[in-house]
Amino acid sequence: MTLLEIRGLGKRFGGLDAVKNVDLDVQEGQITAVIGPNGAGKSTLFNLIHGFYRPTAGTVSFNGRDITHSSPHNSVNGGIARTFQTTHLFDDSTLLENVLAGRIVRSKSNVFDAIFHTPRHRRESALNQDKALEALDFCGVAEFRHDLASNVPQEVQKRTAVAMALATEPELILLDEPAGGIPEEETTDFGNLIRSLPGRGVSVLLVEHKMSMIMGLADTILVLDHGQKLAIGSPAEIQSNPDVIRAYLGS
Ligand code: ADP
Ligand code: MG
């Protein structure tokens, strides 16, 4: 089943087409990757999907619902979560507090509930705590839950960013260079974490520069170049595509 359907998507910044006429289907239960040289439009594409930018052309639907003009807040509540190219953790908070902050967006209790510690608020706090811990555990960093984000290694921070997104219980997760800055020898483990996401009902759309990781992970790869689709296909198809080889080798 198609989870995310992108048609003719475009974003202009002044005279520049950062994303132009992009079509993409993200299938449920799959890992879909977006690759392309620096400045190809990968992060802009994510910002369009997530509602952080308004597209200048085209449509985005999620589960058959038009979300072209949804705000990021609505996207999260609607089942799309994301991580950012540069990790956005609160340095002076613990990993657990960071992941809890990610769940607040789904909160149903209001200020009244919080001030008066209503049963609803207490129930929700306990549930948030459970979900946050479960997400940290799933991402392999539960043992660091009481450490400040600024005190843990880069890889633990990156895993926590994934946990933060997972704690919102998304159907689709957008990962923008989730393994960026992680030493090469640790990327296999990180790849295994990403590979395990569809098994818990979370489909993945991923931007990553580490080609060996992408090729072993993705079901489908979209190659962007200057904002446009250069190719789409399986890892084997992409690796043998002459246009892709030309774009990457610059010949
Ligand atoms: P990638 O993530 O593939 O490296 P980006 O999506 O960040 O590429 O950028 C695509 C192009 O759009 C680049 O030329 C970049 O300079 C430009 N761009 C991205 N965001 C903005 C913005 N907010 N304002 C103006 N130009 C932007
Ligand atoms: Mg980028």
The residue-averaged pLDDT of 92-104 equals 89
Partnered with residue 13 across adjacent β-strands are 16
Cβ count near 212 (within 10 Å): 11
Which tokens hold the place of 85? 């190219």
- 179 or 76, which is more confident: 179
Asked whether the predicted pLDDT for residue 22 surpasses 60, the reply is yes
Q: What does residue 102 show for φ and ψ, rounded to 5 degrees?
A: -65, -25
Asked whether the predicted pLDDT for residue 108 surpasses 70, the reply is no
Predicted confidence at residue 107, as pLDDT, reads 63
ipTM over 0.95: yes
The residue-averaged pLDDT of 83-98 equals 86
Which tokens hold the place of 189? 């483990």
Predicted confidence at residue 160, as pLDDT, reads 95
CB of residue 43 inside a 6 A radius of ligand 1: yes
Question: Distance between CA atoms of 233 and 142, rounded to whole angstroms?
Answer: 36
- 85 near 38, Cβ under 8 Å? no
Summarize pLDDT for 24-53 with one digit per residue, the tens: 999 999 999 999 988 999 999 999 999 999
Tell how far the Cα of 222 is from the centroid of ligand 2, in angstroms.
14
- DSSP annotation of 104: G
Q: What does residue 119 show for φ and ψ, rounded to 5 degrees?
A: -55, -40
Atom of ligand 1 nearest to the CA of 44: 6
- 68 near 60, Cβ under 8 Å? yes
CB of residue 13 inside a 6 A radius of ligand 1: yes
Q: Where are the domains of the chain?
A: 1-79+170-251, 90-169
The pTM (predicted TM-score) of the whole model is 0.91
What's the chain's Rg over C-alpha atoms? 19
Q: In a mutational test of the pocket of ligand 1, which residue from 16, 35, 44 has the highest number of ligand atoms less than 8 Å from its CB? A: 44
Summarize pLDDT for 168-223 with one digit per residue, the tens: 999 999 999 988 888 888 888 999 999 999 999 999 999 988 888 899 999 999 99
Tell how far the Cα of 10 is from the centroid of ligand 1, in angstroms.
12
CB of residue 47 inside a 6 A radius of ligand 1: no
Hunting for tokens 């990790």 — which residue is that? 87
- 251 or 105, which is more confident: 105
Tell how far the Cα of 12 is from the centroid of ligand 1, in angstroms.
10
The residue-averaged pLDDT of 133-158 equals 96
- DSSP annotation of 198: G
Predicted confidence at residue 233, as pLDDT, reads 97
CB of residue 44 inside a 6 A radius of ligand 1: yes
Q: Which CATH number among 3.60.20.10, 3.90.1150.10, 3.40.50.300, 2.102.10.10 corresponds to the domain 1-79+170-251?
A: 3.40.50.300
